[in-house]
Structure 1
Amino acid sequence: MSFLMPYVRRFGKPFGAAILFLMLEALCDLMQPTLMSHIIDFGVAEKDMDTVFRYGGFMLLITGVGALAATLRNIISSHVALNFGTLLRSDLFRRIQTLSYDSIDKFDRASLVTRLTNDVTQIQNFTNGLMRIFVKAPLICIGSLIMAVRLNPPLSLVLAVVVPLVAVLIVFNMRIGFPLFTKVQQALDRVNGVSREYLSGVRVVKAFNRFDYETEKFGGVNDEYRQASIRVMRMLSIFSPGIMLTVNFGIAAVIWIGGVRVDGGQMQVGHIIAFINYMTQILFSLLMISNVFTMFVRAKASAERIGEVFAEKDTMTWKEEELARSEGASGSIDFKGVSFAYTGTEAVLRDITLSCRPGETVGIIGSTGSGKSTLVNLIPRFYDATSGTIQVDGMNVRDVEPSRLREQIAIVPQKAVLFSGTIRENLLFGKEGASDEELERAARMAEAHDFIMACPEGYETRLGQGGVNLSGGQKQRLSIARALVRRPSILILDDCTSAVDTSTESRIKEALRQYAQGLTCILIAQRISSVMDADRIVVLDSGEIVGVGRHDELMQSCLAYQEIYRSQTGKEVRANV
């Protein structure tokens, strides 16, 4: 829970002010039964109207003070809880952004969404409750106990039996409830995961008419969530009535014992009424304390889940004193004996040694799963190599702050990712503050300008989430334009023209050839035609380099390249191997 300390320091003073007003409100509530007993015993019993009006006036005054304190407490508590929840959610989002891919992969994506939303809300609600009723309940309970004992010590023996029994019930409630609430949050993770997966792949579901399958899958996780919630509700349905029953037995005992003592002249009627009021306050306080512990258990489970994200150690480190050396980069890349394996898997890359020079276009080709995308993901430090070194402009990338390193690199990912907003806003992801001329120039090179201008609002056309109102080829061309706006030292194109027709791809490649003068361009492709005219072609097979050279050279010397050529063109190759 150490991640909460900065928020305690930040919101401690207004939180304390809310608690002070809450204590004043609780004190006003505690004074009411005693004043009532005085009205009955000294005013009503002796027919003294002056006493009735005097104590009645005190009750009205105290009620007004309590109402004012409650109003101020509500204003402060709402302000603190909402600001705390907003800040915690923002900090958690920023923390997730700073984690490396390797660290993020330890968490399910749906679980991260749940932690950002439901888990933060649970902690926010508990914080709000602390300043409203969660602190007031024990104050009322303890205060009522003290006032009841002072009022009539013999009757307080009933409390000596009731309170320990309720305490035992609350302890059992906590011990049983914590693991149950944790399972509820995990079940909610699975519901969010299935929902997220369906919504991202809704077109495929419609295309294959798999509604029944998806409905059944969602129904399964939804039913698991229902079952987990039912177990929690069953627990609450036992403990809350159990507490109420115990306290009500105590009230019945007070009435019986009090009646006997009044009949024997040992006690006044007003004391019984005041004692019953205190018992009622204790009843509702104990019920609320039970709810407090239930909320605490839920908030604790949520806090632990959020704490896991804050506690995640990012494996990426760098040398602060080396940052200045990464400026003015020219774009050279050197892989030296690089191997890489994802957590819990076999090596995806093995002993890769490769150099890319500034101004050079390097094509990378290989079968599916050969490690092409993984190789280029190591350059901007999305992952760190398991062994070996990667140098950009002669510097080990492990010595460079990732954000500074990535300023030199522009990537067009294999799957085009666009965001909700206008086309202009998406292009500005490449370079914040880029001029209209820069955006148009990049769009023209990516063969995107014409279809953008054909849209009703041109560059101000709004895109749905993920660019759902664009075709696959249009999304890829916008992704290319976004990268070109940046004017990087290193341009990585990860199979980014797979949804573009060959004539458009040819025009894009020609524009890139003019644009790429002086920068390093790495072109990953499945189609051999996309890399045939690269300065060098690297052939990957099962995570190893099996060929490097120009197209003509590889056609003579590399069996894997020949096989790719044969399978895509249908032409036989005459090899001199």
Structure 2
Amino acid sequence: MQEEKVMQRDTMQVLKILSQSIREFKKDSILCPLLVTGEVILECMIPFFTAQLVNKMKENASMQMILQYGLILVVMAILSLLFGLWAGNFAASASTGFARNIRRDMFRRIQGFSFENIDRFESSSLVTRLTTDISNVQMAYMMLVRTAFRGPLMIVFSFTAAFLIGGRMAIIFCLVIPILAIGLIIITKKAMKIFNEIFKRYDALNESVEENIQGMRVVKTYVREDYEKEKFNGKAESLALDFISAEKLIAIANPLMQFCLFVVVLFVLSFGSYLVVSTSGSALDVGQLSALLTYSYQILSSLMLVAMVFVMVVISAASSRRIAEVLTEESTMENPANGIKEVKDGSIDFYHVFFKYSKDAKKNVLTDISLHIPSGQTVGILGGTGSAKSSLTQLISRLYDVTEGDVLVGSEDVRKYDIQALRDQVAVVLQKNILFSGTVAENLRWGNPNASQAELEEACRLSQAAEFIERMKDGYESHVEQGGSNFSGGQKQRLCIARALLKKPKILILDDSTSAVDTKTDAFIRMGFKEYIPDTTKIIIAQRVSSVMDADQILIMDKGEIIARGTHEELMANSPIYRETYESQNRKEVEDGE
């Protein structure tokens, strides 16, 4: 009992959250039920007038009276048709507009999520919620504003008319409807549990597809197509089996409806026919029996419609909760109301910083980091895979918040800055660079939407991207495929460096972003930095010692700690790890020199 109350309370909360996305489509959502009401009233009046017409004809009524009744029936049928058409238009407008608003609201909410929020939901699940779940809710809403009103209204009005015409015979509906209601409630409870699991399997399936497409080159390189097919088929089969289980349960609703329909029709035909031909005569006549049969079909067909709505609501209930989870998710990263809008300089300070990706994580990713980087300095960071080099730099632009300690930029805690103002002054170039479909120029202008053509060319010259852009037929207007698939890894890295340079940031972070270019090009890029942004603080995460050996200070990281720091000369003298790395990477040159 307590569980049911909690579920009801949660359902009401979900409906309240989703209803906020109706907004400008409230009028359409209200007009549709009103028009449906008019349509239903007219449809329920037609059998009543038809019964009257049959009785008048039985009494040898005049042609004029028959024509009058016929005209009334035609007018009511036309009006009912028009009301139905208008209701359908408003239902379509309300449902599609509602779905559009939900998509907008969800997408805007997701844009405000921190990395921690996105990690919690996972990208595949967010895609499912933005597509499949919203489509389910859209369909359910369209049925709710039209069919869900039509069904109950038709039942009420038809039952009232049937009771007025058939008297006690209408009691049969009072016996049938509870049987149907109890059956639907039982089906709902069981089906809901299955549908909750189904959407989790949808997430897993989408994740498999997304992972496979993104890693298609790796899949083909290792000839793992058959393995991926088998993995996908397994998840698709599991999803199908769950759907079959749910559909089997829901399918019971249809024969249950048919049973109720046949019981009512059998009762009305048998008992009604007896009354018509009975010696009492006045109990029921042919016109009334005809109308009663019509009302029987209307009532039971309306119950069928209600069952269809019920099926769609059951399916969409799980989707609604999943959508509401996104719409109510609060970003773990709070943007201060009156945040600092200007970053004074590119100085960076870490004071006893500890960090882990989630509160539930047992181990820290970063442990007791204290560090000072003066503005304009170039800092190199070396370390093995998993040493938390990237995690360290992600705290600077506040992609994540520290667990303990403080990170300062321009002598101010990063949590005091307006997030947009901070990130506008911290440019990050990742190892796995992303280009968006469009032109080269459009991608570059992500760094500065107002950049002139001359500025684009200058940034590309410094990043060593100009050489291959100018060889392309359309130059800076050359088309970029989705994800930059028509560019090599090194070309994408150079374009992304140019994009970051156009921001002219106070801090530039290169997260192993020259790994796909040769050492000569890497050296030219670093020379470009000194020329173009001499006052910008530059942090270079690299695997090659040659990429950082000219830095003002070099950090050596291992297991989330800074285990050594200093200039190239200092580390060569004092750090065995650095010296060994340098010598192993340059052994061939040393041998050639010897």
Same fold (TM over 0.5): yes
Is structure 2 residue 58 aligned with structure 1 residue 63? no
Q: 1:328 and 1:351, CA in 2 relative to 1: closer, same or farther beyond 3 A? A: closer
Matching residue within 307, 330, 344 for 2:345: 330
Q: Which range moved further: 453-462 or 391-400?
A: 453-462
In the alignment, residue 29 of structure 1 is paired with which amino acid?
E
**TM alignment of 1:369-448, pairs within 5 A:** 369-448=386-465
CA-to-aligned-CA distance 1:341-372 (integer Å, 9 cap, x gap): 12224111110011111111010111111010
Matching residue within 382, 405, 414 for 1:365: 382
Please state whether the residue corresponding to 2:38 is helix, strand or coil.
helix
- Aligned-pair CA distance for 1:322: 4.0
Match of 2:186 in 1: 172
- Aligned-pair CA distance for 1:467: 0.6
- Where do 5+ consecutive residues of structure 1 fail to align? none
CA-to-aligned-CA distance 1:80-113 (integer Å, 9 cap, x gap): 2222211210110110110100111101211100
The answer on whether the counterparts of 1:546 and 1:558 sit within 8 Å (CA) in structure 2 is no
**TM alignment of 1:71-470, pairs within 5 A:** 71-264=85-278, 265=281, 266-324=283-341, 327-343=342-358, 344-470=361-487
Please state whether the residue corresponding to 2:431 is helix, strand or coil.
coil
Matching residue within 509, 516, 541 for 1:524: 541
C-alpha distance in structure 2 between counterparts of 1:349 and 1:430, whole Å: 30
Please state whether the residue corresponding to 1:355 is helix, strand or coil.
strand
The answer on whether the counterparts of 1:148 and 1:278 sit within 8 Å (CA) in structure 2 is yes
Please state whether the residue corresponding to 1:323 is helix, strand or coil.
coil
Q: Which range moved further: 6-15 or 428-437?
A: 6-15
The answer on whether the counterparts of 2:510 and 2:541 sit within 8 Å (CA) in structure 1 is yes
Matching residue within 537, 541, 556 for 2:558: 541
C-alpha distance in structure 1 between counterparts of 2:163 and 2:291, whole Å: 11
CA-to-aligned-CA distance 1:243-273 (integer Å, 9 cap, x gap): 1112211111110110111121221111111
Q: 1:312 and 1:328, CA in 2 relative to 1: closer, same or farther beyond 3 A? A: closer
- Aligned-pair CA distance for 1:461: 1.3
Match of 2:9 in 1: none
Please state whether the residue corresponding to 2:355 is helix, strand or coil.
strand
Please state whether the residue corresponding to 1:320 is helix, strand or coil.
coil
C-alpha distance in structure 1 between counterparts of 2:159 and 2:580, whole Å: 87
In the alignment, residue 297 of structure 1 is paired with which amino acid?
V
In the alignment, residue 317 of structure 2 is paired with which amino acid?
K
CA-to-aligned-CA distance 1:212-271 (integer Å, 9 cap, x gap): 001101101111111111112211222211111122111111101101111212211111
The answer on whether the counterparts of 2:343 and 2:421 sit within 8 Å (CA) in structure 1 is no
In the alignment, residue 392 of structure 1 is paired with which amino acid?
V
C-alpha distance in structure 1 between counterparts of 2:89 and 2:171, whole Å: 40
- Aligned-pair CA distance for 1:534: 0.7
Match of 2:526 in 1: 509
C-alpha distance in structure 1 between counterparts of 2:549 and 2:132, whole Å: 51
Match of 1:569 in 2: 586
Q: 1:321 and 1:233, CA in 2 relative to 1: closer, same or farther beyond 3 A? A: closer
- Aligned-pair CA distance for 1:561: 1.6
The answer on whether the counterparts of 2:447 and 2:500 sit within 8 Å (CA) in structure 1 is yes
- Aligned-pair CA distance for 1:297: 1.6
Q: 1:380 and 1:119, CA in 2 relative to 1: closer, same or farther beyond 3 A? A: same
Please state whether the residue corresponding to 2:387 is helix, strand or coil.
coil
In the alignment, residue 422 of structure 1 is paired with which amino acid?
T
Matching residue within 45, 61, 75 for 1:31: 45
- Aligned-pair CA distance for 1:45: 5.0
Q: 1:168 and 1:140, CA in 2 relative to 1: closer, same or farther beyond 3 A? A: same
- Aligned-pair CA distance for 1:548: 1.1
Match of 2:11 in 1: none
C-alpha distance in structure 1 between counterparts of 2:339 and 2:525, whole Å: 37
Is structure 2 residue 504 aligned with structure 1 residue 490? no
Matching residue within 454, 464, 475 for 2:492: 475
CA-to-aligned-CA distance 1:412-455 (integer Å, 9 cap, x gap): 01211111111111111111121111111111111111111212
In the alignment, residue 376 of structure 1 is paired with which amino acid?
T
Please state whether the residue corresponding to 1:60 is helix, strand or coil.
helix
Q: Which range moved further: 168-177 or 269-278?
A: 168-177
Please state whether the residue corresponding to 2:534 is helix, strand or coil.
coil
In the alignment, residue 77 of structure 2 is paired with which amino acid?
T
C-alpha distance in structure 1 between counterparts of 2:339 and 2:277, whole Å: 90
Please state whether the residue corresponding to 2:340 is helix, strand or coil.
helix
In the alignment, residue 48 of structure 2 is paired with which amino acid?
T
C-alpha distance in structure 1 between counterparts of 2:395 and 2:310, whole Å: 48
- Aligned-pair CA distance for 1:43: 2.0
- Aligned-pair CA distance for 1:48: 4.0
Please state whether the residue corresponding to 2:239 is helix, strand or coil.
helix
In the alignment, residue 32 of structure 1 is paired with which amino acid?
I
In the alignment, residue 578 of structure 2 is paired with which amino acid?
Y
Q: 1:209 and 1:93, CA in 2 relative to 1: closer, same or farther beyond 3 A? A: same
CA-to-aligned-CA distance 1:14-56 (integer Å, 9 cap, x gap): 2111211111111111111111111111224535433332221
Please state whether the residue corresponding to 1:540 is helix, strand or coil.
strand
Q: Which range moved further: 109-118 or 63-72?
A: 63-72
- Aligned-pair CA distance for 1:13: 2.3
- Aligned-pair CA distance for 1:12: 2.1
Q: Which range moved further: 45-54 or 145-154?
A: 45-54
Q: Identity of aligned pairs, percent?
A: 38
CA-to-aligned-CA distance 1:300-336 (integer Å, 9 cap, x gap): 2111001111222222224333424xx1521111011
Aligned residues: 571
C-alpha distance in structure 2 between counterparts of 1:267 and 1:328, whole Å: 89
In the alignment, residue 17 of structure 1 is paired with which amino acid?
L
Is structure 2 residue 60 aligned with structure 1 residue 46? yes
Q: Which range moved further: 128-137 or 527-536?
A: 128-137
C-alpha distance in structure 2 between counterparts of 1:391 and 1:53, whole Å: 89
C-alpha distance in structure 2 between counterparts of 1:275 and 1:373, whole Å: 76
Please state whether the residue corresponding to 1:294 is helix, strand or coil.
helix
In the alignment, residue 112 of structure 1 is paired with which amino acid?
L
In the alignment, residue 346 of structure 1 is paired with which amino acid?
K
Match of 2:5 in 1: none
C-alpha distance in structure 2 between counterparts of 1:92 and 1:80, whole Å: 18
- Aligned-pair CA distance for 1:519: 1.0
The answer on whether the counterparts of 1:22 and 1:131 sit within 8 Å (CA) in structure 2 is no
The answer on whether the counterparts of 1:330 and 1:393 sit within 8 Å (CA) in structure 2 is yes
Please state whether the residue corresponding to 2:21 is helix, strand or coil.
helix
In the alignment, residue 330 of structure 1 is paired with which amino acid?
D
The answer on whether the counterparts of 1:419 and 1:463 sit within 8 Å (CA) in structure 2 is yes
C-alpha distance in structure 1 between counterparts of 2:589 and 2:82, whole Å: 91
The answer on whether the counterparts of 2:21 and 2:105 sit within 8 Å (CA) in structure 1 is no
The answer on whether the counterparts of 1:317 and 1:399 sit within 8 Å (CA) in structure 2 is no
